Amino acid sequence: MRLEIVTAIFKSDFKSFLRNKGTLFWTLAFPIMLILIFGAIFSGVGESKYELTVVDYDNTDMSKLFINILDNTSIIKTKLVNIQEEELLSYIKDNNIKRLIVIPEGFQQTIYQMSFNKNATTNISFYFDQSEQQTNSIVRSVISSVVINLNMNITGGKEIIKVKDIETISGEFTYIDFFLPGMIGLTIMQTCIYGSIESNTKFKKYGILRKLLTTPITRSEWIFSKMLFQLFLSFVSSIVIIIVGVLAFGLNVHITILMIIIIIASSFLFTGIGMLIGRFVKDEESAGMAGGVISFPMMFLAGTFFPLEQMPGFLQTIAQILPLYYVNEGLRNAMIYLKTDAAIFHSAIVLIFASVFFIAGLLLTKWRED
């Protein structure tokens, strides 16, 4: 083996590596971005506090003690609300409450009756959105621990205080129900952003955009036709994901008008983002890098793979300004959970994002060379 030849080839590859901006970015910046995002998400897992809405119909020293113990844990942050019992379910639905406990009237009195009534019991009702399986299991385990300790201190271990579980969404949901709509949103984002970028940069590179000026085709006709193709791909990928979900996992997917609206709006939205990126990059390598910078953080921060509550508070705030978050939540509520009000709200946000980004992409896309 001749060392000088090996060295020469290595130097040649190294120079090519330095000249290739895309390779340079994904080799150096990608792992940095990866560790920063996942480090920020999972370094705060043990510090996260999950909000638990509390309705206290007893309003006694004992009920306040129970709430105080919950609030002093490192996991739960209680939020006390005053609502009538007959308005409870509508309040949960209207405010999209994930977890709520009800301390019944007579809670303290029942505990005091234990001295002369050995059969006395009282139930704390735990209302929960079963689609949030992982976070609910954490909160439920904390509530159970507090109840067990109270029973131990009050009665020496006899179960006088019990927890009654009540699901707030009809039907049984698993993680795959949460994941599938997020997968649709993610696929639409990737397809439309990278599809628009590739088309614009390739046409710009070969001078096709400039040549289109000499044809009777208008700029709006060309852009709209490209957008329709991205919309076609969005529906194809969505249908494939749904079919696999139904056949492989037995999912009960509801095809609703809101779901179709969100898919159409998100296609416009991410196509617009792709057009904006394509406007400001000069070559295909830079385009791929720019697309990754935009899409990669949204992929992990917008609630595609796990609920926002598993992330630290500042990342939850960031997630709620990302378009993909509203696409994911809108699809979940429209096609899985059938929460119409929540689906309408998220659809409206997606439509606003779509209008802004698509119009901006339309206005900034040029055929002339800069």
- Coil, helix or strand at residue 282: coil
Range of the domain at 75: 45-167
Is 25 a domain residue?
Answer: no
CATH of the domain at 50: 3.40.1710.10
Domain total of the chain? 2
Pairing of strands 99-103, 122-128: antiparallel
Is the pLDDT confidence value at 350 over 60? yes
Burial class (CB in 10 A: 0-12, 13-18, 19+), 87: exposed
Q: Could you give the CA distance from residue 194 to residue 64 in angstroms, rounded to a whole number?
A: 55
Between CA 360 and CA 139 the distance in angstroms is 44
What is the model's pLDDT at position 370?
45
The reply to whether 39 falls in a domain is no
The Cα 105–Cα 327 span in angstroms is: 41
* Domain-embedded: residue 225: yes
Last residue of a domain, one of 167, 194, 222: 167
Among the three residues 145, 167, 189, which one is the final residue of a domain in this structure? Answer: 167
Is the overall model pTM greater than 0.75, yes or no?
no
Distance (Å, rounded) from C-alpha 39 to C-alpha 227?
A: 36
Residue 125 lies in a domain: yes
Lowest mean pLDDT among 138-152, 296-310, 312-326: 296-310
β-strands 122-128, 76-81: how paired? unpaired
The verdict on residue 277 lying in a domain is yes
Closest CA to 342 of 81, 97, 50, 80: 97
Between 31 and 222, the more confident residue is: 222
Same domain, yes or no: 318 and 263? yes
3-state SS assignment for residue 355? helix
Give yes or no for residue 12 having a pLDDT over 80. Answer: no
* Residues in Cβ contact with 294 at an 8 Å cutoff, skipping those fewer than 6 apart: 193, 273, 277
Q: Is the per-residue pLDDT at 210 higher than 60?
A: yes
Same domain, 335 and 226: yes
Domain assignment present for residue 29? The answer is: no
